Amino acid sequence: MLVGKRISDRYKIIELIGGGGMSNVYLAHDMILNRDVAIKILRYDFTNEDELHRRFQREALSVTSLTHPNIVSIYDVGDDGDLHYIVMEYVQGKTLKQYIQEFAPISPARSVHIMKQLTSAIANAHENHIIHRDIKPQNILMDAEGNVKITDFGIAMTLSATSFTQTNSVLGTVHYLSPEQARGGTATNKSDIYALGIVLYELLTGELPFSGESAVSIALKHLQSETPSVRAFDGTIPQSLENVVLKATAKDASHRYATVEEMQEDLETVLSSARINEPKFTIPIDNDATRAIPIIKEQFIRKDEDLTKTRAMEPISQKKVEAKKPVEKVEPVKQKKKWPKYVAGLFIVVIAMFLFFLFATDLFSPKKIAVPDVTNLTVEDATKKLQEAGFVVAEQQEERNSEDIEKGKVIETDPEKDAKRVQGTEIELIVSLGVETVKIDDYTGQQISQVEALLKDKLIIQKNYVHSKLPEGQIIEQDPQEGAEIIAKDATITFTISQGVKMITVDSVANYTKAQMDDYVKRVGLKWRTVREEYNDTVPAGSVISQTPKPGTSLMEGDTIAVVLSKGPAEKPVKTFIKNVLIPYEPTEEGAEQVIRIEIQDKNHTMVKAFDEFTITSDQQYKIQLVIVEGEEAAYKIIRDSEIIESDSFNYDDVK
């Protein structure tokens, strides 16, 4: 058991997650990069196969050059003693086979989405001169988001090239085997296309097109039987989609898609409304192909024999030869040769006939005249000119667009101008429809991929992408608008297309003022609102205490951040203390004024500034009023001529 062991002092084996006839796949942890990986290890009973090991390693190394989001990445290839392994990206999910078994039949839209990922991956491999050779749902992984990744590139062919046999392994693959592979031929790019067609069939129906009791019986069906109709399984499947299956799985590789890219392009538009009811794909008839010739019996030849055709002589049997009597040899009588006279006479006759036809034709044939040039004339004027020349103008007129000849005038004639024809010949006019125009339809709300396929040969398309809550790829606006007629040549239509929702990661806005909140949401494309205000001893009034959602959350553009604003510290209870004091008059000189200064420290005042200031010439009563906050104290001072004559302080609790 390898579970718990460490391979090459780096990969710790966690558990067995899969296996086949020649290797096992384990979930492992890369101790250096601290990540989970999948590690494929060649089984012990094949480790002594030197050729297998070399090919196993060579194929794996070649695939490391592939970088594609739908191909499982290979990180490392190595040996640890007798263990030969390949380290791959770990895809947490299930195989496409498990997905099909759980959810089949898969909807056409979902099937096409999966197939576009697969064709993109295989196209990338083919560009790098790598043929998969063993495409099947068991070799396709699907993650939690529904994205698929292809694995096991080239390994199946590498293993099957060795000296051993694994019938069960072949049986697992033969369901997707192309006819040329079943015939024992070499796998090509088109073998991968065939397997992709079988995978699409299985997605749409949940079944395999060919089954049997043995690998041989299934392989024979790949060679001899046409792929069953997916529409016979489900009549709602568009004919255009069935055509993809039929073309990809054509028995003759020359009738399949030329490349995987061509198949991918077909899938891009296969569900468009313009293609749903297209004719069923049929194999083109090759008149030059070798065919079996039926045996024609002698009696049928006798009835209506074509003497210009070569036919075989009837064989003569030995018995007939023996039955004939011998013929005596007779010396031929020599005659004088007469053929030189005959040849000379025949030559004279031929020359005479040639001269007769050369000159007599011009003598007796009707006179030919040139067809007049009526280009750029109106139909009426052109007709008149042709009739005056002795020609007949055909009632049927061909009409076509022209960039040079205005609408209603003649572009050319058939026969063309200056052609020699006898009088009375019928002349057809080709009349201008004017410059070709295109009437613009309403494309808003449609997917840009479908509209591009519809207009690619008619208009130049310019695309502007904007973030929107509408589905990604949907056309939001167009210019020109519906109903406009524009000149077809170099005509351009501009589409504003949804790029999908823009996601914004929310920052922390704690302690932001209202002005700062306005600036922030304007900059990032959000909105904000106040849900409530509350007292806070630490956050200044008018600033943000808390927010919803929390920082780091992703919001769609235009969403709102809800905040709680501070009202500042909460108001504490107060008490009012009143004290009447007597300020004595004690001048140094009789009758002189004394300056009195009153200072107060309470909720509303500080001693930095005088609360009251006045002069006295006699004793005077004064009422002092202090407002004391809970938990704090208040105080007062009475200063006479710069001398403190009385002061006192009071706690909140001292006041009754």
pLDDT digits (tens, 9 = 90+) for 500-510: 888 899 999 99
Cis peptide before 415 (omega within 30 of 0): yes
Rounded-to-integer distance, Cα 494 and Cα 462, Å: 5
Q: CA nearest 366: which of 317, 417, 292, 421?
A: 421
Share of the chain above pLDDT 90, in %: 53
CA nearest to 189, candidates 135, 131, 140, 136:
131
- How much is the pTM? 0.45
Are the C-beta atoms of residues 70 and 148 closer than 8 Å to each other?
yes
Residue 287 carries which DSSP code?
T
- pLDDT confidence band for 640 (50 / 70 / 90): very high
Task: Give pLDDT tens digits for 22-40.
Answer: 778 999 999 999 999 999 9
Tell me the Ramachandran region of residue 81: left when phi exceeds 0, alpha when psi lies from -120 to 50, beta otherwise.
left
Between residues 461 and 44, the one the model is more confident about: 461
Instruction: Confirm or deny that 420 is annotated as ligand binding.
Output: no
Q: Which domains does the chain have, with CATH numbers?
A: 6-89 (3.30.200.20), 94-269 (1.10.510.10), 368-432 (3.30.10.20), 437-498 (3.30.10.20), 503-566 (3.30.10.20), 574-654 (2.60.40.2560)
What is the structure's pLDDT at 352? Answer: 60
Q: Which tens digit of pLDDT belongs to each residue from 85-126?
A: 999 999 999 999 999 999 999 999 999 999 999 999 999 999
Q: What is the pLDDT of residues 375-388, one digit of tens each?
A: 999 999 999 999 99
Q: Which of 231, 228, 189 is nearest to 208 (CA)?
A: 228
- Reported as half-sphere exposure (CB side, CA atoms, 13 A), residue 325 has a value of 3
Residue 439 to residue 487: CA distance in whole angstroms: 9
pLDDT band of 332, cuts 50, 70, 90: very low
Determine whether 134 is an active site residue: yes
CB neighbour list of residue 582: distance below 8 Å, 6 or more residues apart: 619, 620, 621, 622
Write out the two tokens for 307: 């003497």
Which residues make beta-bridge pairs with 633? 651
Q: What is the DSSP letter of 391?
A: -
In the block, tokens 């490391």 appear at 64
- Residues 123, 126, 130, CA angle at the centre, nearest 5°? 135
Question: How many Å apart are CA 465 and CA 497, to the nearest integer?
Answer: 5
Q: Which of 50, 76, 134, 288 is catalytic?
A: 134
